[in-house]
Amino acid sequence: MRRRLYWSRSRRVFQAQLAAASRLGMGEYTGILCDPARERWAMAALGLALGQMDWSHFEIKYEPTGRRLRMLAAALPKAGFNVTWPPHRINGGKTDQLVVPQIELPDTMEAYYASLSANRRQKLTRARRQMEADPSIQSRLPTPETFHAMRDDVLALWRKRWEGDLSSARIEYLTAQYALFLDRVWNIGALYMPTLWQGEEM
Together in a domain, 79 and 164: no
78 with 40: CB under 8 angstroms? no
Read off the pLDDT of residues 156-192 as tens digits, 9 standing for 90 and up.
Answer: 999 999 999 989 999 999 999 999 999 999 999 999 9
Provide the residue range defining the domain that includes 155: 135-202
Task: Please report which confidence band the pLDDT of residue 26 belongs to, taking 50, 70 and 90 as the band edges.
Answer: low
Together in a domain, 6 and 90: yes
> Considering 96, 118, 150, which residue would you say is the last residue of a domain?
96
Helices (H), the chain: 39-51, 67-75, 109-114, 118-133, 147-162, 168-187
Average pLDDT taken over every residue of the chain = 89
d(CA 18, CA 88): 19
Read off the pLDDT of residues 73-101 as tens digits, 9 standing for 90 and up.
Answer: 899 887 778 888 888 888 898 888 888 77
Q: N- to C-terminal Cα distance for the chain?
A: 36
Number of domains in the chain: 3
- Whether 23 has a pLDDT exceeding 70, the answer reads no
Supply the pTM of this predicted model: 0.62
Together in a domain, 121 and 152: no
